[in-house]
Amino acid sequence: MSTVVHVMIRGRVQGVGYRAWVATTAQANGLEGWVRNRRDGSVEALFAGGETVVADMIEACHRGPSAAHVDTIVVEEAGEELLAQRHAGERFSILPTV
């Protein structure tokens, strides 16, 4: 892994298929990580992979699925230890809401 980022996405991002869209898009681009809803209405994700692919995924998150409306995205560097939150045997997981 060359890049690992923790991403918080705010806006109309729950109830619009945003988590499933993130998982499908990340997997299609060969990224590892996870995504989950948060009780405050945001979506949280971890992306791990090549620097360019991760940057492209973050850019795509600004758009999201057609029913979503993203207000803000906060990106922070993260460590690979956060990958351990994935479900065993999965490259990219949809985790339970926290």
Q: Using one digit for the tens of pLDDT, what is the confidence trace for 42-89?
A: 999 999 999 999 999 999 999 999 999 999 999 999 998 999 999 999
Lookup: tokens for 60: 């795509």
Residue type at position 61? C
Instruction: Please state the pTM of the whole predicted model.
Output: 0.95
User: Which domains, and CATH codes, for the chain?
Assistant: 3-86 (3.30.70.100)
Binned at pLDDT 50, 70 and 90, residue 90 comes out as very high
Q: Is 19 a catalytic residue?
A: yes
Which of 10, 12, 37, 63 is labelled catalytic? 37
**Per-chain mean pLDDT for the chain:** 96
pLDDT of residue 2: 80
CB neighbourhood size of 91 (10 A)? 16
3-state SS assignment for residue 82: helix
H helix intervals, the chain: 18-28, 51-63
Q: Which residues lie below 8 Å from residue 42, measured CB to CB, with a gap of 6+? A: 8, 9, 10, 13
Which of 19, 29, 38, 39 is flagged as catalytic? 19
The pLDDT value given to residue 51: 96
Write down the pLDDT at residue 36: 98
